[in-house]
Structure 1
């Protein structure tokens, strides 16, 4: 699809539009099935505007017939209604939805019917025109000369999608209007002018579906222009009723959808007092939530004595730049836990020992474990794996220092542990004296 078909028109592009004189607002050119008197042209201008001296022209653009006027409708006897609309219908058939009661409705037999191929549709005033008049005798796609005595107020054209080489001509650009070009897979059945207030903004259109007398819906897979303003399900054709108008909160005639909404709160950035705060200053203190130092507490002065970014009104430690709540250690004292044991340093007797929070029997950095369970921690136990000893003694760890015979020599070193008179077997053995009575 040609990109320029989606671009919003500058409202001062044509003299008539700049002065508010009028514009083509809606056209049904190729109704579903047969045309059967359903074609219509809708024009918008000021309420009760007289079209004396005005013309609606359809200029052929197909093949060798390029530049020939197919329709020359003198609008001199017509005017808009109280709502600023003039609806020209091909027959008395009232298409649905019916026109507004304030719309002036005219029946004009488009005979022959408006061709469904490449055409240029023109609205303006001055001059005299007749059907069959050739405005491009050279058939080169450029009008031979400015239309004598004629002022173009609005013009739009498009090329038929027929699978043939591009031998069609558009003349809207010659007249200062909008040349929509050729679409990738379809020829528009209808055109719809999206408004900004009472002004024409951009063309939308595409293929329509439905049966006579309507309503006719847009085929969302074969349409253009609507997506530009974020409308994915556009309204039906509405002949004789005011067209769709963009949502434009700041009056610059740029769709709010196009202008963007950074915080996705439904208010475009240009009209959003807090474009980066989706809650729009929830506490109502005049500071947007994204910059409010107390977003949930109203504090118009935004006072922050300790400069920590949390306003005094919501700072549990307003004079401690490192804390906003007292935490475990209180204001002014860090809740740091250097050893990561879950006990903050302020309450940890061993702040660098992840295994202890008190010095215990062995001190910080040394375990109070008692491997042999004898009640003496290993750090003070000379025999940490011997539950019966805390010092090596005469026999060493794991060996008893018992002296069964009470002779002063522990059993571990006593050759006769049960003989209080001997520590070695001697000549006679343990329990027998080695005395020599007769010498």
Structure 2
């Protein structure tokens, strides 16, 4: 079993502390799910900002209480708990500690909102549903006259999260080296950690593995990968794309900064008898060597950081042989939202992907063009990512015992559930999209 690492910001998770509060749901209106935690049981060494409330600020707490309460009521997210209302009613948010909830939001905005969930101060009978409603109305949650005060409840991104060569290794380690066993719990057997492409909805009529293979095959087709193709993959994952490309007869070089991923990808490639066709390198994309007929990079640009997007696209072009093709899969958000998020420390950057930033289509187009690349094809399919995330979240929730046995405590589990639901809501509300792009060198041909 691999050892968990970096489950909370810059710290390692430990086994669940004695006195944990996992247990059967209570029958009162304050009923909490089996995953419930209570703040007094949270390990302050591991989760300092979850275990302790931020400093009291009566004015901020009162304003947050008024604004949040008004928004939740207007969006019909407050009301009786499940079992006390008609089944047709929409998702609901249930507060267990309203003062702590408002205090965290008043001090830390959306980070506080997520930390309050991690602390067990609120729950929902449909977490993704609540977050989707909020994402749909994100620009309306704060009255226009107060939006100029946004700086009071958001903080700047830490300079330590910059994706320098050393910083990029640390940031990748923080997420991808958590534990191969953890990812295998909720991913499908291909271990693909990016959006699948489904043949049709609802997805229950198709396996997630089949949908992931469809995604990979589309990218390989887009890049023109066939027998004898020299292929560079930037961002190995656990090796499924490299395996599938090598099976086509391509000669694959795949790069990663994750030691855990590299080790398992090599094992899988060797087990498939394809070690002679696919090489896994622990290497930064900025240090790419050689020229390739095709380059594929799946949801890697989001981890690069805006400061290094020029270097990323320059590396792509430098690696491309004359007449070559680049196939990218990337999550995108609106340009205005991206500019606002670029300098903001968010829940995702604090707990999940330090140093990351989702680009806009405009940013991708601008930086790729500046590197001498032309976008030839651009196809979006955000609904497929929402469905992928729903399946991941369901599998994760169904495997709580296995996750606990790997050493991940209930606070981590609530953080991960919130991350998956939060991401799903982004796609369901169309705040986020995912796109496959074909880039070539120079002018359109």
TM-score by length of 2: 0.21
TM-score by length of 1: 0.21
Where relative contact order (Cα < 8 A, 6+ residues apart) is larger, the structure is 2
Q: Which has the larger radius of gyration?
A: 1
